[in-house]
Chains A and B, each alone.
Chain A
Amino acid sequence: MVKGLCLMGSKVGIPRALLYYYYFPMWRTFFEELGAEVVVSGPSTKSVLNQGVQLAVEDACLPVKLAFGHIAGLARKVDYLFLPRLVSVASREYICPKFLGFPDMVRQTVPHLPPVIDVDVNLYRRNKYLFSAFKEAGKFFTASAARVYLAYRQGLAVLKEYQKLLEAGFMPEEAMNLLTKAAGKKRSPAAFPLSGRSSGQMILAGEEKPMVAVVGHPYNIYDSFISMNILRRLQQAGVKVITADQVPEPVVRAEAAALPKRLFWTLSQRMIGAAFYFLHAGRVQGLLHVTSFGCGPDSMTGELINRRARAAGAVPLLNLVLDEHSGEAGVFTRLEAFLDMVCFRGGKFQEA
């Protein structure tokens, strides 16, 4: 790692992949506050994926391959790449072994890399260790600890707003756009008058459209290319979509507590807690479980969700496995059959 102060305005590249969907607003704010320019890779495309597939080992899961593609595209365009090692984002939990080794995999695989800012984010033991990751990252841009701290606080504040927007039902890209607009005016939490909620009741209220819950890793369901735009298509088919990210944290935790043993993967815990909640919440008529080919954690949580759904019996469940060869046609046919079952509707699911 090349350390030292870099010039103002240097470009920090962030791939539009993996936990970009959860943390980008914070990362961007942080680097911009320190005077850097943040460059994000473009939306996923076939050629981004192809590039990733070529670079990554064959056995890697789809999201990792895709991330490689994004990084390869960014590598020559930026002065730094921000690839934090996300060891743990919650006490006594991990994300997935591949996140632990991600910066190393990239370094040994993707050619022409600029210096990589691969600070460890590790909250396994204590939540307050988050700052230490940003402190390390900040050293690339300024010697002033105070400036780094302020940038970090600013980043956290934006993250909080962003998370509220997600809980309110905005999809990540929408929420990010709203934040950018608000930042143009004045950055203040009051820009979004959302009442704080502690139970899941409100998210399920509202219009009497049929509601389908989509449960999957954020980088699968929110990437419109890799998910074949499932969320949008469901909406177009007249369905109200809800995702695991709209279920408040305490509800997720309470539901997941029904497991025989605490789950040690943060993302999976959210998925399973939300799925359990959706299965008995009443308002949800269908559960769509999206996984990527060969995903380790999903093989375990998917099994538990499936068993719970079958035992409950009330809500139809569709498992969709995404891989680099998934054909749209096959997926849409299955979705359509699923929607027919969910809504007993005459109307057809639109492919366009």
Chain B
Amino acid sequence: MVKVTFPHMGHMWLCVKAMLEYLGVAVVIPPPSSKRTLALGARYGPEFACLPLKLNLGNFIEASALGADTILMAGGCGPCRFGYYAQVEHAILRDLGYRYELVVLEPPERHVGQLLSRIKTITGNNSWKRVYRGIKLGYQKIRAVDELEREAHRLRPREIVPGSTDRAFQEALKEIERAADLEELAAARGRAGETMRSVRIEERDVLRIGIVGEIFTLLEPFANLDIERRLGRMGVEVDRSIYLSEWVNDHMLFGLIKGLRSRRDACQAARPYLKHFVGGHGQETVGSAVLYARAGYDGVIHLLPFTCMPEIVAQSILPVVSAEMDIPVLSLTVDEQTGEAGLMTRLEAFVDLLERKRARKNVEGRICFG
């Protein structure tokens, strides 16, 4: 029987695992991305490849040691590199002597049958009805995880006991992970919610920062050096411009699920500054910054991997958004050389700036209206 693995991206493993195991497919979860993963990817990947590619590569090498023999990945048709990741990674692995089968879920070019037949190579004899329920289970799990993350973002800067949010979050995640079908998941969601509610908080005047940028860097804590938790501990409430369920809907379910926060609003908001899509989430990045400014956030942090093309376009444009909408923007480029110390210094300076800006505003407010 094949043993399927796939690259890490935040908590995505949890839903893919649920989906595949529901269908009786053996799954190998790569060890969580670590310095070692990145070192492997950087050693064997192209020098100027973007960070996600290097981490994918490291994931596959590490998963191979655990017995994985088949890679499952999403595809794409450009213009950014992601659409060609699988093929380049596969070529590198093959030359290194890893015998991986590759299954890429490409957006159907001609008819949806192409996609379905690729799915069948993994799911084998399961009926379509069961495949559908498997996908639904995986998808509902991400929705659940997204909810938990949003809740954690709210709790962290307000928690009374430092670290209590993170502990509750991990526990709640386990509840979601353990659910083996949709019925169990419904109950698990309830318990996970309880767990999160048990975190004791007090109302505080917190800063609010919107995090925008390249999807992988946003979702993978290892890639962004755990920026959400760091900011949370510094007393900042964060929001992220994209959550996993939205990405999965766009890239793996081809937008079939309606009613999520959609790319359209962000792209619309970007138009005065960036009129055209530029691949990846470049236009969404600009638009989300505009939306955060309108929503009264104190600042925006822009995350991008070194050499990321769509985000470099966004990075060129964000200073104008920042000036015109009067919202500070901090752009952080990450690669294998990014160090914790440097990041912390920049985050602290940025939070400091936002605090002073808010204090000034409060003073001005009192002068005008007080």
Contact = CB atoms under 8 A, between A and B. Distances in A.
Contacts of B75: 261
Contact of A296 (B48, B95, B106, B319): B48
B279 A304 contact: no
A95 B87 contact: no
Interface string A295-333: 111111011100100000000000000000000000000
A98 B46 contact: no
Given A96-B79, A296-B307, A303 B50 contact: no
Contacts of A96: 79, 309
A97 B279 contact: yes
B84 A300 contact: yes
A60 B310 CA distance: 11
The majority secondary structure among interface residues of chain A is mixed
Interface stretch (A85-93, A131-139, A335-343): A85-93
A87 B78 CA distance: 11
A299 B304 CA distance: 17
A281 B282 CA distance: 40
B279 A300 contact: no
A98 B88 contact: no
A105 interface: yes
Contact of A303 (B80, B83, B92, B314): B92
A59 B318 CA distance: 14
Interface string B32-64: 000000000000011111100000000000000
A108 B320 contact: yes
Contacts of B91: 260, 303-304, 307
A60 to B, nearest CB: 6
Nearest to A95: B79
Contacts of A60: 312, 316
Interface residues of B, number: 47
A108 B87 contact: no
B251 interface: no
A67 B295 CA distance: 36
Interface in B71-91: 75, 77-81, 83-84, 86-88, 90-91
Contacts of A229: none
A123 to B, nearest CB: 13
A100 B314 CA distance: 11
Interface in A92-146: 92-98, 100-101, 103-105, 108-109, 120
A111 B367 CA distance: 37
A104 B78 contact: no
A264 B77 contact: yes
A97 B282 CA distance: 9
A261 B79 contact: no
Contacts of B80: 97, 296
A265 B78 contact: yes
Interface in A57-100: 57, 59-61, 85, 87, 92-98, 100
A68 B192 CA distance: 52
A190 to B, nearest CB: 39
A343 to B, nearest CB: 28
Contacts of A61: 307, 312
A59 B312 contact: yes
Given A108-B316, A108-B320, A303-B91, A296 B308 contact: yes
Nearest to B48: A299
A97 B278 contact: yes
Contact of B81 (A56, A104, A261, A296): A296
Given A264-B79, A294-B307, A101 B47 contact: no
Indicate the member of A59, A61, A94 with the most B CB atoms within 10 Å. Answer: A59
Nearest to A59: B312
Indicate the member of B84, B88, B275, B308 with the most A CB atoms within 10 Å. Answer: B84
A97 B316 contact: no
B276 A297 contact: no
B71 to A, nearest CB: 13
Contact of A101 (B48, B49, B274): B274
A263 interface: yes
B276 A299 contact: no
A98 B50 CA distance: 15
B273 A259 contact: no
B342 to A, nearest CB: 15
A300 B312 contact: no
A100 B278 contact: yes
A306 to B, nearest CB: 8
Contacts of B310: 97, 101
Contact of B276 (A57, A101, A296): A101
B321 to A, nearest CB: 9
Contacts of A108: 273, 316-317, 319-320
B273 A59 contact: no
25 contacts: A57-B312, A61-B307, A85-B276, A96-B309, A97-B278, A100-B79, A100-B279, A101-B282, A101-B310, A104-B274, A108-B316, A108-B319, A260-B91, A261-B75, A261-B84, A261-B86, A261-B87, A261-B106, A264-B79, A264-B84, A295-B48, A296-B50, A299-B81, A299-B307, A303-B46
Interface of A: 56-57, 59-61, 85, 87, 92-98, 100-101, 103-105, 108-109, 120, 259-261, 263-265, 291, 293-300, 302-304, 307
Closest 4 CB pairs of A and B: A264-B78, A101-B313, A94-B79, A299-B48
Given A59-B304, A264-B77, A297-B81, 18 more contacts: A57-B312, A59-B306, A61-B307, A85-B276, A87-B276, A97-B282, A97-B310, A97-B313, A104-B313, A105-B317, A108-B319, A265-B78, A291-B48, A295-B48, A296-B48, A300-B49, A303-B49, A307-B95
